[in-house]
Amino acid sequence: MNLSAAEQALIRAAREARTHAYAPYSGYAVGAAVLADDGRVFAGCNVENASYGLSVCAERVAVFGAAAAGAQRLVAAAVCTPDGGTPCGACRQVLLEFAAAPDQFTVWVVSPAHVIARYTLTELLPHGFQLARGE
């Protein structure tokens, strides 16, 4: 698979973020990164809590960091797990919220050493929830 420099940087950021995962309960370290339409990359890792329900996935940490920095049109994401796990349903919905074009939004699924798969967000979340706005 030939990857562009931007895609390689996105995947590298997800792998790097995974090294910061705080996952003492599940032991399942995840890193994620999102690419904004202005070229900026925002990364996140999963952050667990002793009160398990408070844990947040790597993908949402990355997306919320992007949103907080004013990057609210995202064009791609990379997720790095030990075994090629794909984003959970909640994270797919959060990615949809900020995806500039869901059918062209690439989600790279990678492990530390390999590119496992690539999907579009529409493939991962067909018929995602979208609130009708302004009417």
Phi, psi of 132 (to 5 degrees): -65, 130
CA distance 57 to 47: 7
- Cα–Cα distances in Å, from 120 out to 22, 52, 76, 97? 28, 30, 9, 14
CB of 63 to Zn ion, least distance (A): 10
- Cα–Cα distances in Å, from 1 out to 7, 115, 120? 11, 8, 16
Binding pattern to Zn ion, positions 63-102, x when CB under 5 A? Answer: -------------------------x--x-----------
Catalytic residue selected from 7, 16, 48, 59: 59
Q: Is 57 in the site for Zn ion (CB under 5 A)?
A: yes
Is residue 59 among the annotated active site residues? yes
What one-character DSSP code corresponds to residue 37? T
Binding pattern to Zn ion, positions 5-44, x when CB under 5 A? Answer: ----------------------------------------
CB of 59 to Zn ion, least distance (A): 5
**Active-site positions?**
59
Binding site for Zn ion (CB under 5 A): 57, 88, 91
